[in-house]
């Protein structure tokens, strides 16, 4: 019987950060983060008989997520959706009386160690001698879609969950479930499991003063440009930035800094509808090491607010 350590398990990670360009200054917006998981026993297929073999251990379906960036605005709710939690078994029954195989999940959904629900399920099947055995477990993929309203912390869910998602460091999101497999008289039984988790922050974007002819009001406090800092900067966004060796994001934001006119390169890869013009960008300052240009501070955009032009008085 193959041990857990002998099973070849691969984790496919895909983190996607999405943000929507705003058309108004106080629209409800979202930030989405996603991670996918996959594991298989390729290279160590199951043979013969096995009872409740731990194919995937508790903790496999877990990932660190970034907390909500308060510079984007006021958090209203956050949703954690687990989906596509399912597994497959595929092999051949041995000679004699035929064979069988089954698999199961069962565990708790957690955020930074605080549980908020749980589920499980399994499925099995068999066939005659030397015939294929194919099992999908459970019968339907497991789905959990839980929305946490900020105002209900301590009433509908553990306030430690809200503290984690609004904190200052990455927090753990997990489906704390092992995956076990049982089989009898099988040959080359392959096992595979998948899962996907999506975290969505829903927030009210911070108000943005109109920019353009007739705009009034005091100039905002200059941002502090420091690696690792979360900032919100208003200015004019330009594309087409060129640099030696193509070492550039292609975007630059011109703004008013502490010493006058300033600019910073912007990574707009997370923005679905990037465009030039007067904007406010919320994100994080990151250091990027280029071969030719050396170390450059870049603004990694998480959300963009497009300024609403002031109406001209006829």
pLDDT tens-place string over residues 43-78: 899 999 999 999 999 999 999 998 998 888 889 899
CB 72 within 8 A of CB 166: no
Residue 313 belongs to some domain of the structure: no
Residue after which a domain boundary falls, among 205, 221, 255: 205
Same domain, 194 and 245: no
Same domain, 243 and 110: no
* 3-class secondary structure, 304: strand
Same domain, 178 and 290: no
Same domain, 23 and 146: yes
Q: Which residues of 237-264 are buried (b: 16+ CB within 10 A; e: fewer)?
A: beeeeeeeeeebbbbbbebebeeeebeb
Containing domain of residue 267, as a range? 230-306
Same domain, 195 and 284: no
pLDDT score of 11 more than 60: no
Same domain, 186 and 274: no
CB 101 within 8 A of CB 125: yes
What was the pLDDT predicted at 136?
97
Residue 223 belongs to some domain of the structure: no
Residue 217 belongs to some domain of the structure: no
Average pLDDT for 28-35:
77
What was the pLDDT predicted at 70?
85
Same domain, 135 and 173: yes
pLDDT score of 192 more than 70: yes
What was the pLDDT predicted at 171?
96
Residue after which a domain boundary falls, among 205, 221, 256: 205
Same domain, 190 and 63: yes
Residue 211 belongs to some domain of the structure: no
Q: What is the pLDDT of residues 107-140, one digit of tens each?
A: 999 999 999 999 999 999 999 999 999 999 999 9
- Bridge partners of 290, per DSSP, are 294
Residue 270 belongs to some domain of the structure: yes
Same domain, 290 and 167: no
**Bigger pLDDT: 26 vs 106:** 106
What was the pLDDT predicted at 206?
66
Same domain, 114 and 252: no
Task: Please state, in angstroms and as integers, the Cα–Cα distance from residue 51 to each residue in 180, 184, 202, following that order.
Answer: 9, 8, 45
Average pLDDT for 283-289:
89
Please tell me the distance from the alpha carbon of residue 244 to that of residue 266, in angstroms, as a whole number: 17
Residue 266 belongs to some domain of the structure: yes
Same domain, 87 and 48: yes
> What pTM value is reported for the model?
0.64
Residue 3 belongs to some domain of the structure: no
The total number of structural domains in the chain stands at 2
What was the pLDDT predicted at 78?
94
What CATH number is attached to the domain comprising 254? 2.40.50
What was the pLDDT predicted at 163?
95
Residue 139 belongs to some domain of the structure: yes
What was the pLDDT predicted at 4?
39
Same domain, 103 and 181: yes
What was the pLDDT predicted at 142?
93
Cβ–Cβ contacts within 10 Å for residue 190, how many? Answer: 14
């Amino acid at each position: 019987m193959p041990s857990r350590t002998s099973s070849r398990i691969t984790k496919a990670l895909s983190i996607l950060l999405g943000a929507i360009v705003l058309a108004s200054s106080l629209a409800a917006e979202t930030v989405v983060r996603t991670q996918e998981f996959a594991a298989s026993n390729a290279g160590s297929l199951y043979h013969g008989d096995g009872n409740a073999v731990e194919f995937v251990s508790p903790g496999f379906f877990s990932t660190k997520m970034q907390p909500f960036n308060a510079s984007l605005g006021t958090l209203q709710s956050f949703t954690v959706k687990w989906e596509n939690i399912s597994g497959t078994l595929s092999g051949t029954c041995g000679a004699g009386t035929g064979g069988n195989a089954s698999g199961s999940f069962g565990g708790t959904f957690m955020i930074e160690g605080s549980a908020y629900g749980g589920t499980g399920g399994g499925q099995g099947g068999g066939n005659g001698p030397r015939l294929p055995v194919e099992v999908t477990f459970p019968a339907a993929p497991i789905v959990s879609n839980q929305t946490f309203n900020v105002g209900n912390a301590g009433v509908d869910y553990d306030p430690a969950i809200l503290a984690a998602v609004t904190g200052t460091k990455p927090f753990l999101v997990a489906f704390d479930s092992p995956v076990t497999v049982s089989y009898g008289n099988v040959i080359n039984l392959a096992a595979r499991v998948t899962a996907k988790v999506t975290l969505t922050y829903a927030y009210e974007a911070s108000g943005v003063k109109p920019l353009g002819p007739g705009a009034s009001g005091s100039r905002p406090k200059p941002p502090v440009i420091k690696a690792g800092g979360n900032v919100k900067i208003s200015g004019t966004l330009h594309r087409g930035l060129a640099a030696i060796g193509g070492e550039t994001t292609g975007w630059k934001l011109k703004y008013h800094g502490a010493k006058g006119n300033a600019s910073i390169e912007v990574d707009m890869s997370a923005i679905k509808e990037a465009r030039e013009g007067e904007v406010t960008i919320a994100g994080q300052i990151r250091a990027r090491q280029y071969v030719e240009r050396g170390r450059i501070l870049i603004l990694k955009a998480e959300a963009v607010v497009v300024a609403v032009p002031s109406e001209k008085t006829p």
